[in-house]
Amino acid sequence: MAVKWTGGHSSPVLCLNASKEGLLASGAEGGDLTAWGEDGTPLGHMQFQGADDVTSVLFSPSCPTKLYASHGETISVLDVRSLKDSLDHFHVNEEEINCLSLNQTENLLASADDSGAIKILDVENKKVVRSLKRHSNICSSVAFRPQRPQSLVSCGLDMQVMLWSLQKARPLWITNLQEDETEEMEGPQSPGQLLNPALAHSISVASCGNIFSCGAEDGKVRIFRVMGVKCEQELGFKGHTLGVSQVCFLPESYLLLTGGNDGKIMLWDANSEVEKKQKSPTKRTHRKKPKRGTCTKQGGNTDASVTDEEEHGNILPKLNIEHGEKVNWLLGTKIKGHQNILVADQTSCISVYPLNEF
């Protein structure tokens, strides 16, 4: 049963983030930003001028009261203890920003926008050091790889997933999710696959830095492994009946949270599959083509049959929550020492689900 945090916003919540010290922040439509305590009490609130939606919020790991927030084409730097004014702001993107990511050394901030561009900002010198432009449509998500401060991954509504090194202006590796699906289809395409192209919405990198996940409009979750200057898809599975709007690895694990436009939240354990592939690298080059989850109408129930298990690629959800509202943002974080799922959706509330068994 979810606990609802209310009183922070009057419009739909779009993004969430948590600091190591237990502070939380959320952004909403209309330029609304709120800081929260661990008990769900709003600690501060501000309204950005211009009423652009707050699309991404990001705490500094080394300075837990420092917050980056994107609203429209602007990135503001804030102190959550006093949200009256911005400490600093940057206007480096030409169109609305969808996602922010800090690298592990905290000297670089990536911002992905509607033009498909990713701007890399040197935080200390306050200037753009790279402009990565290869997505041909909206770049929906970007993430630096942990332990690799010069490397990041991105995805977009052009159905492309890219691996970047900041030593180069071009991506090291690109895959088109729709083309890959078509090439690997053993039978005819299902109608659902044609109606729901693999527009990529969200990307998340595991703490190891070599495994990342991507959620797409075709309802499928894909897990990739970085192998030097290229990537290989390790897993592909489907539990959502509509597009996957959010993917989020829990810290220090291969437990993956997914949220969808179908109002479902799922928890997947990719650990055994990832480890199996890691121990048998020779098998990867001759692996079977993965089963296409789009060929089934199953709804991701945890009491799935053997057939469902095959279609998931031998992975079934450990948890299936009927949240009921389209998921805008997912966050797995510890609150008062216990792991929780925080959910932003089409309402003005934040939902909190306990994850005691994990």
**H or E element, residue 309:** helix 306-311
Q: What is the pLDDT of residue 347?
A: 97
Please enumerate in sequence order all residues whose Cβ is within 8 A of that of 303, keeping only pairs 6 or more positions apart, or say none: none
Residue showing tokens 């109606």 = 195
| Continuous segment of H or E residues that includes residue 55 | strand 54-59
Task: Identify residue 313 by its one-letter amino acid code.
Answer: G
Spatial CA neighbour of 300 closest among 292, 291, 309? 309
The stretches in the chain having pLDDT less than 70 are: 181-194, 277-314, 357-358
Q: What is the pTM (predicted TM-score) of this model?
A: 0.87
Average confidence score pLDDT of the chain? 87
pLDDT, residue 275, reads 74
Of 353, 116, 130, residue with least CA distance to 248: 353
DSSP letter (8 states) at residue 289:
P
- pLDDT for res 304: 29
User: Is residue 69 a contact partner of residue 33, using CB atoms and an 8 Å limit?
Assistant: yes
> What is residue 183's predicted lDDT score, i.e. its pLDDT?
54
Query: What pLDDT was estimated at residue 48?
Result: 94
C-alpha distances in angstroms, 159 versus 101, 135, 200, 226, 270? 20, 9, 5, 19, 23
Specify the long-range contacts of residues 174-177, CB closer than 8 Å, at least 24 apart: 174/134, 175/231, 175/233, 177/214, 177/216, 177/218, 177/222
Amino acid 142: pLDDT: 98
The full DSSP string for 97-156 is EEEEEE-TTSSEEEEEETTSEEEEEETTTTEEEEEEE--SS-EEEEEEETTEEEEEEEEE
Helix (H) or strand (E) holding 273: helix 271-279
